[in-house]
Structure 1
Amino acid sequence: MPQNIESVCIIDDDLIYINLISKIIELKKLSESVLVFNNGKEALDFFLQSLQQEENEEIPQIIFLDLNMPVMDGWEFLNAFSKIKDQIRKKIDLYVVSSSIDSRDIERAKSIDIVSDYLTKPITLDDFERILI
């Protein structure tokens, strides 16, 4: 693993997608661990709790964020996360991953400064290798 990605975070409510992505990451040894949250609120709570610790060791280096989820969707998560991002000392690359091909969603996501890129589901192995290697 050339970049030595310690931890990847998947924020998505689609269990099939989560299992597939986790398996690809594991089989290709693209990251040492995978954190999974089923909605933005679970993920935001995790990040807020991590900020209370002296070291941000638990915080992942890469986040794959779905837009359409229950409880707190991806847009709400992005809004809340952008308010705490500066408190995190670790560099994080955040990728919006959605089945939406609506150009308004793509433009909106890409206009948010904490978003590294917008990827359309299904993500290909080439996408993963480009991001994680």
Structure 2
Amino acid sequence: MPQSICIIDDDTIYINLVSKIIEIKKLSENVLVFHNGREALDFFIYSIENTENDAIPQVILLDLNMPVMDGWEFLQEFRKIRKQINSNIELYVVSSSIDNRDINRAKSIDVVSDYLTKPIKLDDFERILV
């Protein structure tokens, strides 16, 4: 079970639902929420610069369509800093897009563990978080 999970998504209903499932099922001790990729990237850069690797979540659930900095832009920037993070991170793209081009593009990026389609099924949560 990951100690900390990060949700990067601008949909507050989805965030509340996922957070509640994680809490009820006791799938993690801590949930970090960022409403766009820029907020999340700033957090990761700050954590790296201040050697706070223990603050970095073990699992990231990343939406693709967000304002300010979308999931694609976040992935591009996250790849540049990933090697500076000393802990293992599982990054899951979670999107409502069922377009094979999006799925294949996401899966081809080395920092992406898998692509999950919204709404995430309880089985998928338990598979990736247990």
- TM-score over 0.5 for the pair: yes
Structure with more helix by fraction = 2
- Give 3-state SS (helix, strand or coil) of 1:90's partner: coil
1:74 aligned to which of 71, 75, 86: 71
Q: What is the distance in 2 between the residues matched to 1:35 and 1:101?
A: 26
Matched, 1:43 2:40: yes
2:37 is aligned with what amino acid?
A: G
Identity among equivalent pairs (%):
74
- Give 3-state SS (helix, strand or coil) of 1:122's partner: coil
- Give 3-state SS (helix, strand or coil) of 2:53's partner: coil
Matched, 1:27 2:33: no
> What is the aligned residue count?
130
Describe the superposition over 1:2-31 as per-residue Cα deviations: whole angstroms up to 9, x where unpaired: x3x110000000000000000000000000
Matched, 1:14 2:20: no
TM-score (norm 1): 0.96
Q: What is the distance in 1 between the residues matched to 2:111 and 2:99?
A: 20
Q: What is the distance in 1 between the residues matched to 2:41 and 2:9?
A: 13
2:120 is aligned with what amino acid?
A: I
Q: What is the distance in 1 between the residues matched to 2:125 and 2:35?
A: 20
Matched, 1:101 2:98: yes
Aligned position for 1:110: 107
Deviation at 1:54, TM superposition (A): 2.7
For the aligned residues, what is the CA RMSD? 0.6
Describe the superposition over 1:90-116 as per-residue Cα deviations: whole angstroms up to 9, x where unpaired: 100000000000000000000001000
Deviation at 1:55, TM superposition (A): 3.6
2:87 is aligned with what amino acid?
A: K
Runs of 4+ aligned structure 1 residues displaced above 4 Å come to none
Q: What is the distance in 2 between the residues matched to 1:109 and 1:37?
A: 20
Deviation at 1:52, TM superposition (A): 1.3
Aligned position for 2:83: 86
